[in-house]
Every structure is written in structure tokens, then in C-alpha cells.
Amino acid sequence: MADRYYVVREDILPEGIVKTIQVKEMLRKGEAATVNEAVERIGLSRSAFYKYKDAISTFDQLDREQIVTISMDLQHRSGILSKVLGLVAGFEGNVLTINQSIPLQGLANVVITVDTALMNKSLTELLQSIRAQDGVSRASVIGQG
């Protein structure tokens, strides 16, 4: 079954969902250092927050929060991965994870997970730049969400 999304006025949402959004905003803005601190200040249980946190977003945040997984085959030469990571940083992407295989026949598979929420250019432009980088044999998006 595919995910279905709805646009709903805030005043008809259950209190737990509204408070979950408030907690997420406090954390995003740095108004609270921890989930515990934020839920206490808002008056929400931790269990309710964790129940709803991944399923609720404000409409304006929905487009901006984007996690992508990129798989690449990189030549086994010094500095290539560093240059790719520099490209991601130059686009203002935030690398969340890096997994690399042992090089075989001169190539290593590298999988990175990138938060693209604050990127200053499109994902397509980032991929084109990665593919154009010397030492990159292949690069493609293998997951989004």
C-alpha cells in the first residue's frame, strides 16, 4: 500500500500530534537541547512524541526534508572520496553515513546517505558533478525518503 498524504487544518488535529510538531520545532530551532526537555516544556509524553515524530511534518518542511542514498564506484586512488565529499559539502549537503567496500580490481563501492534539505542546488546537479569528478566510475541514487 502506498503512503497517502492529507492536508489538514491544525485546529482539528488531536492534541498529541500538534504537540509533536511543537516539540520538533523546538528541537529544530535549538530552543530545547533534548527530546526530554522539549516534551516536558510542551506537556507531551515521550512515548507519544516517538509514536508520531516520523509520521508528521508541517507542510513547508515536507519538501525540504530529503534523505538520499547515493551509490558510487570509485577508483582506488588517494583523495577521490575526499573530493566527492567536498562536492557534497560545496552543495551544502550534509553527509549522514558513509559505507565503503574493500577495493576489488581497482574499484571500491561507496554508499553515502545525504541530507539534501539545505542544498543550494538540485540533486540532479549534485549527481552530475559527482559523475564528472575524476576517479568516479559510476554514481546513482539508490534510495530516497
26-64 pLDDT tens trace: 988 889 999 999 999 999 999 999 999 888 877 656 555
Amino acid letter for position 102:
I
Which CATH number belongs to the domain containing residue 130 in this structure? 3.30.70.260
Q: Which regions of 1-135 does DSSP assign to beta strands (E)?
A: 67-75, 94-100, 107-115
Residues 58 and 76 in one domain: no
Residues 15 and 30 in one domain: yes
Q: Looking at the domain assignment, is residue 3 inside a domain?
A: no
Residues 137 and 70 in one domain: yes
Residues 73 and 138 in one domain: yes
Residues 81 and 130 in one domain: yes
Residues 25 and 55 in one domain: yes
Q: Looking at the domain assignment, is residue 5 inside a domain?
A: no
Residue range of the domain that includes 116: 66-144
Q: What is the pLDDT of residue 61?
A: 60
Q: Looking at the domain assignment, is residue 1 inside a domain?
A: no
Residue 19 pLDDT > 80, yes or no? yes
Long-range pairs of 116-124 with CB within 8 A, sequence gap ≥ 24 = 116/66, 116/67, 116/68, 117/64, 117/65, 117/66, 118/64, 118/92, 118/93, 118/94, 119/91, 119/92, 119/93, 120/91, 120/92, 121/91, 123/66, 123/68
Q: Which helix (H) or strand (E) holds 139?
A: strand 136-144
Whether 35 contacts 63, CB under 8 Å? no
Residues 58 and 102 in one domain: no
Residues 35 and 74 in one domain: no
In a 3-state reduction of DSSP, which class is residue 76? coil
In a 3-state reduction of DSSP, which class is residue 138? strand
Interval 65-111: pLDDT, tens: 588 899 999 999 999 999 999 999 999 999 999 999 999 999 999 99
Q: What is the pLDDT of residue 99?
A: 96
Residue 3 pLDDT > 80, yes or no? no
Residues 24 and 71 in one domain: no
Residues 55 and 96 in one domain: no
Query: How many domains, in total, are found in the chain?
Result: 2
- In whole angstroms, what is the distance from residue 33 CA to residue 22 CA? 14
The most confident of 5-14, 70-79, 135-144, by mean pLDDT:
70-79
